Amino acid sequence: MTVCLRGINETDRGPIHLVIAGYRAQPAPGVIQAANLSGATYAVHWAAGKWAEAGASVGVMARSVQVGVPALKAGRLLAGVGSLAGGAGGMLVLGAGQFRHRYWCARRDGKRLAGLLGTIPGIRTRPLHLIGHSLGTVVIRSALETLAEDYRIENVMLMGGVAGRDGWESVAQRFTGRLVNLYSRRDAILSIAPVMERLVGNGVVATQCPSLSTTRLINHDLCSQLPNPFNAIAHHSGYWKHFGRYL
């Protein structure tokens, strides 16, 4: 089993929050505790991957630099530029392949999450909130398609999500509260993500579905409140700093 729950604040009273981080990341207990969420809070650990797996793509680029830079210094422009361009292309291809594999893992582990929730005290009688960032939103979307209808799922919050914008009507009946989509149109990380569909993390979720009316669907552009977009990684991960107050 590649997905598991880690208790951050365990209690048998009040609502239950499931917090799910994204690609090559796990929810930081200190950040979650600082949010002071009422009730119980659990971090969902899934097969998000580790930065160590990026070694292959980094190695391709490093090798191209070892070959290309000396070639440029020796005046062999074509060989130098070709080596550097080939290394950059190889790194992008490997990186895209790794991301697509983790996207598949997110879909798979979202389905597996349903089998773990029975270990939480009172899970079927207490309000359940789902909070996800980046690829964690794909885990949430997959879980919503799988979870039994007798769970009391209330609010769903997406932060810088890789989940697609379309099709939320099909899972709107699975939760009773709000779908809160926090996004940034200038999220450079999502702009280069190798996913064909439009992503919730850089645009609004639009729907005409009566069960997901404008009172239940909230889109909020946080671009101006996140770190400067020129710092792409900090901008994409900046949602965590104040995520507790968004709920």
Strand extents, DSSP E, 81-214:
128-133, 153-159, 179-183
**Which candidate, 184, 152, 171, 177, places its Cα nearest to that of 247?**
177
pLDDT, the chain, mean: 82
What's the whole-model pTM score?
0.85
Whether 44 has a pLDDT exceeding 50, the answer reads yes
pLDDT for 19 equals 96
Residue 220, phi then psi, degrees to nearest 5: -135, 120
d(CA 61, CA 58): 5
Which of the two residues, 87 and 176, has the higher pLDDT score? Answer: 176
Whether 17 has a pLDDT exceeding 90, the answer reads yes
pLDDT for 94 equals 52
Q: What is the pLDDT of residues 51-95, one digit of tens each?
A: 566 554 544 444 554 544 565 566 665 554 544 454 344 444 455
Which of the two residues, 17 and 63, has the higher pLDDT score? Answer: 17
pLDDT for 215 equals 79
Could you tell me if 44 and 17 are in contact, meaning their C-beta atoms sit under 8 angstroms apart? Answer: no
Q: What is the pLDDT of residues 135-144, one digit of tens each?
A: 999 999 999 9
The H or E element containing residue 112 is helix 77-113
Q: What sign results for the dihedral spanned by CA atoms 30, 31, 37, 41?
A: negative
pLDDT for 151 equals 87
pLDDT for 25 equals 87
Could you tell me if 115 and 39 are in contact, meaning their C-beta atoms sit under 8 angstroms apart? Answer: no
Which of the two residues, 13 and 1, has the higher pLDDT score? Answer: 13
What mean pLDDT comes out for the span 4-21?
A: 93
